[in-house]
Each structure stands twice: as structure tokens, then as C-alpha cells.
Structure 1
């Protein structure tokens, strides 16, 4: 998503427009890694070697972390802008493009608790950022607790779109990444 969100910028990237939402945060569920593995195997079968990486990202990838009960996945696709090279196969499997940005596609299968699939080039800065953040939360209890508290506080509000909720978490994410020594 663009750095500073407003409805016009967001609407330009969202395929189906803004979707008002109330975020629900639940305690960690040990079944989340299994749900990821099932989807990852499905994606490997669909994409084959077009998926240079498939990683579990987001809060459900961090043991012990409260989260929205939605599995986030990043797939490394050499050129996400070349939709003809991979998108028809994902659409045939029920995935629908929700966000279209340069070098990024975000897809869902339709149900609110179904996985979110982000497609980026494998070495894209956002892929590295997702993985660095996940790994920091896996190893730092204090940062994991800070992030959980932030999410629970933000979940008390209603949002014009889930991307505004994501943007509201950004200062805490940046703070945690800085402690992890993150630098582009």
C-alpha cells in the first residue's frame, strides 16, 4: 500500500474498493501452522517453480501471538506484474485479486478467515521486511507483547478498510524492526 493512505490512494490499488471492517483479534491457535502448510502445499502444486518462495508471515506465523485468525502467506513470483504467467492458475483455484500495485498482488479466496496471499518478487524489500519482522517477534517476548497490545487496542475501533488498521500498526512495527537492526 502507498506510504500515506487516504481513500483516493487506497481505492486506486484496491480491486473491489474500500471495505469497512471491525478487526477481531484472538489468542494464538496452534493449528495455524498446519493451516499454512496445507495452503503452502496447494500453492506449490498450483504454481510449481514459478513460486520461488512460499513463507508464512503475519501474526499467525508467530507462536504465542494473538492475531486476526487469517493466515498470511507471501509467494515470491519473479514478475507479479506479468499476471498472465501465474494468475489464471490461482484464479482457477479460487483466488481473487484484491490489491494490484506495481510488483505486488494481494489475493484472497473469498471467505473472511481464508488466507491472504501476497505475491512479490522473491528479493523485494517487503518480503525481507515481512520475514525480519516475523523472526523478531518469534525471538523477542517483549516485542511480541507490545505488538499484541497494540493490535488489541486498535481492534477496538471500526476501520474504513483493513488497510487503515494495518497503517495504524506501522509505527510499532517500525520500532520493533529498528530494535531488530532492520535496514534496507
Structure 2
């Protein structure tokens, strides 16, 4: 279990010199269209989760629907975000080939950030985030999801922020990482309220 201080800290380690987070040929997306929430998304998650479980069996320790598509009523990019916990995300041979056979493609490798990997699936569209069992990020993601599900005012705030960020980034010709940066202050404020409510932070 991660230490509470790690859960409430926003870790942003620098990329080691000479390295890239992206697999050769991959890079940040220029497509960040935000659309109204779809009741098809939970079903798409279940389809993807079964594909992952069938591919990995017991090696898939946790398969969790996270991100905006996991929050009913919240507009989102139509890409299902999934957190997958494995025993050791740096041991790619133990899970990447099996996922590739199931239609996933490795796009991001960040061993310096809790072993994070991202694999892409095209239909249904999915970003599969792989972490180890001791990563604080998966706990953060669940807290953020559950807070937005239960707090409509912050859900509306985040929805408005996403739409505004997408419009500004499209107008500026930016990519998805810059779109994410435009949301960062609001995301951190929502997290702060959720961390206080859960007792991870003092008011």
C-alpha cells in the first residue's frame, strides 16, 4: 500500500536524459475532441476488460475503469481509460506480448514513473495504463473517479473545463499533452477537496 504522502503528491519526475516516454513512431495525439457522455462506454469497458483478462489470466491483478468515460454524465474523449495492475510493469515480457496478441499496441514506456506503460487499442478505442500494485496513481484515479460520480458541482466544473481546454487547444494547434496541461489547476483543486474528504489531507 503506498504511503498517504505519495497518494496526495503529484509526482512529475523528469524524463532521463537520452530517453523518451514514447515508443519510436508514437507521440502525443492531436485528437482531443470532447463529446457528450455515452451509455455505450461502460459496455465497451467490460468488453475490453474481458479481452485483458482472457489474455493475462491471473497476471491481471486489477482491471479498473477510470477517467472521464467512467463517470456517468461527464463529457469525454471517446477513449476508454483502464488501469491495469500487474506484479511488475517493468517485466514487459510477462504481459505485453499477450496483450499485443489481443489487439493492444505498446505506445508509452515510463519506468521512472512507477513503471507506467500505455498500450493502445483501436476498437473500442482504449488507453490501457499499466502500473505495479504499489503505485499511488491507481489510488488517485479511483478517488478522482468516485468523487466526480458523487459530486455533481465538481462534475459540472470539470466538464466545463474540459470543453474550454479542448476548444483553446484546437484553436492553438496544440497536442493532447498541452490540452491536459490546460486542465491541471482545476484537476488539482478537485483532488484537494477529495483528499480532504477522505482524510488524506487536513483542511
Instruction: Give me the TM-score of the superposition, normalised by structure 1.
Output: 0.89
Where does 1:83-122 land on structure 2 (aligned, <5 Å)?
83-102=92-111, 103-110=115-122, 114-122=125-133
Distance in 2, matches of 1:172 and 1:5, equals 23
Query: Partners of 2:47 and 2:99 in 1: how far apart?
Result: 15
Task: Provide the C-alpha distance between the structure 1 equivalents of 2:28 and 2:195, rounded to a whole number of angstroms.
Answer: 35
Q: Structure 2 regions of 5+ residues with no counterpart?
A: 1-10
Q: Secondary structure at the match of 1:181?
A: helix
Aligned residue for 1:115, secondary structure, equals strand
- Of stretches 127-136 and 150-159 in structure 1, the one that deviates more from structure 2 is 150-159
- Are residues 1:170 and 2:178 paired? no
Q: Is the 8 A contact 1:20 1:160 kept in 2?
A: no
Contact 1:52 1:78 in 2 (8 A): yes
Offset at residue 163 of structure 1 (A): 2.2
Structure-2-length-normalised TM-score: 0.81
1:71 is matched with which residue? Answer: 80
Call closer, same or farther: CA 1:175–1:134 in 2, change over 3 Å.
Answer: same
Contact kept in structure 1, 2:52 and 2:102, CA below 8 Å: no
> Which residue of the partner structure matches residue 138 of structure 1?
149
Measure, in 1, the Cα distance between the counterparts of 2:126 and 2:29: 19
Q: Which runs of 4+ in 1 moved over 4 A?
A: none
- Partner residue in 1 for 2:3: none
Q: Say what the alpha-carbon RMSD is for the aligned residues.
A: 2.4
User: Within 5 Å, which residues of 2 pair with 1:41-52?
Assistant: 41-52=50-61
- 2:22 pairs with 1:14: yes
Matched with 1:36 is 45
